[in-house]
Amino acid sequence: MKMKCGCEPMWNQMDFWCEERPYCPVHDTYEIEEGAEFYNDELALRLEEKMKGIARVMKNHPKGKQARCERCNALLEYLNEDVETGAFGCAYVVCLNCGHKTYLDEEEGKLLTIKNIKFPKDFTDHGEGINIDDIEINEWVKKCLKTLKKNRKDCSASMEIGMGNTMVFVRKYEDECRVWVTRDYYETSIPR
């Protein structure tokens, strides 16, 4: 099925009962091409799977909790056992519509400690970030080195600059500065 605008449709969950309609987020339209079948086998199978999930929610916890998917805007109904923790220990649920992790501000995550931190689960992956060109990376390296050179007294200072999928880290030692440039890195933090 194609949208009237020619794009492939996203399935936008309209309400709690999973009444779905094809949607084009680029053109903000629900219009499908003339003669296209609205309900097809793929949609029917997806709706059947979602209805099983809703039946479980209704049976175990009549009210459940709700959130909106950050990617496809689907209404997500979840129970406490559906909540997982990910990057930085933050709580999230996985959208049944598009598979995206939707982080939940109202849910308590896990306080990361030396004993419970796990790679890669508790880290955010910057590998999907924008690619930084070599010219900008060289500027970052020079900026870090110049900044650390100004601070002559502290022989264990460090500085980092990062954006997209790239991180520059410079550490000053007694007789040298060591420079790391990395792409596709992981990151997290734990309280001191």
- Tell whether 118 is covered by a domain: no
97 falls within a domain: yes
**Is the domain of 175 the same as that of 135?**
yes
Q: Which two tokens stand for residue 48?
A: 């059947």
Same domain, 101 and 163: no
Q: Do residues 68 and 74 touch, judged by C-beta distance below 8 A?
A: yes
Q: What is the pLDDT of residue 167?
A: 94
Summarize pLDDT for 108-160 with one digit per residue, the tens: 899 999 999 999 989 988 887 889 999 999 999 999 999 888 877 777 789 99
Give the pLDDT score at 31.
63
What does the mean pLDDT of the chain come to? 77
Distance CA 5, CA 12 (A): 16
Pick the more confident residue, 49 or 100: 100
Would you state the pLDDT for residue 39?
A: 46
pLDDT, position 58: 40
Determine the average pLDDT of the residues in 18-23: 52
For residues 22 and 96, membership in a common domain is answered with yes
Instruction: Decide: pTM greater than 0.85.
Output: no
Q: Note whether 67 and 146 are same-domain residues.
A: no
Q: Is residue 20 a part of any domain in this protein?
A: yes
Whether residue 83 sits in one domain with residue 29: yes
pLDDT at residue 141, as a whole number: 96
- Rounded to a whole number, what is the largest CA-CA distance in the chain? 76
Q: Are residues 96 and 42 in the same domain?
A: yes
Q: Can you read off the two tokens belonging to residue 109?
A: 């995550």
Same domain, 82 and 132: no
Q: Which residue has the tokens 């080195």?
A: 145
Instruction: Mark whether 68 and 136 lie in a shared domain.
Output: no
Give the pLDDT confidence score for residue 171 in this predicted structure: 92
Tell me the C-alpha distance between 89 and 124, whole Å: 10
Q: Is residue 144 part of a domain?
A: yes
Q: List alpha helices for 83-151, DSSP H.
A: 134-150
Residues 139, 170 within the same domain: yes
Range of the domain at 155: 128-187
Residue 36's pLDDT band, with cuts at 50, 70 and 90, is low
